[in-house]
Amino acid sequence: MDHENIPTSGEMSPAEAAEWARVLLAVPEHQREALCAWTASGSYVAEGTGDLPSVPDFEERFCGTWGSFRDYAETLAEEIGLIPQDAPEELVRYFNWVAWTRDLEHDYTVVRADAISVYVFRDL
């Protein structure tokens, strides 16, 4: 797990370490790296007045791990019916996916997960 955003044991008290453990254990194991990436992005929501990430806000904003933001955008477009299934092919081929995806990405934080995928978070 990438812990670059979590202070090392020499930089935190036992109480702080316990709080970080509480936060990390509050999300499923397969989402812990995403939580750390969200925190490292600086676009996270802190709980209270501290620096710990808010788990409920993480859960509300995390959209999953995708091959690219474009993959996420295409799936979202299908889910919301952006282009009706019965739309004429002449109309569909003129839809500007690049511009729509670029504009949509302004409402999201996208963080590299590994060499082949990204984490996507809604900016609410």
Mind listing the pLDDT tens digit for each residue in 90-121? 888 888 999 999 999 999 999 999 999 999 99
Structural domain spans, the chain: 9-122
Average pLDDT of the residues in 79-84: 91
pLDDT band at 10 (very low <50, low <70, confident <90, very high): low
What pLDDT does 7 receive? 58
On the question of pLDDT at 1 being above 50, the answer is no
- pLDDT of residue 57 exceeding 50, the answer is yes
More confident residue, 2 or 50: 50
The per-residue pLDDT for 123 is 96
pLDDT of residue 15: 86
Around Cβ 31, how many Cβ atoms within 10 Å?
Answer: 19
User: Residue 91: its pLDDT value, please?
Assistant: 83
Alpha-carbon distances, residue 105 vs 31, 63, 66, 71 (angstroms)? 21, 13, 14, 12
Q: Which residue has the higher pLDDT, 124 or 104?
A: 104
- List, for residues 65-78, the tens digit of each pLDDT value: 999 999 999 999 99
The kind and range of the H/E element at 78 are: helix 69-80
H helix count then E strand count, the chain: 6, 3
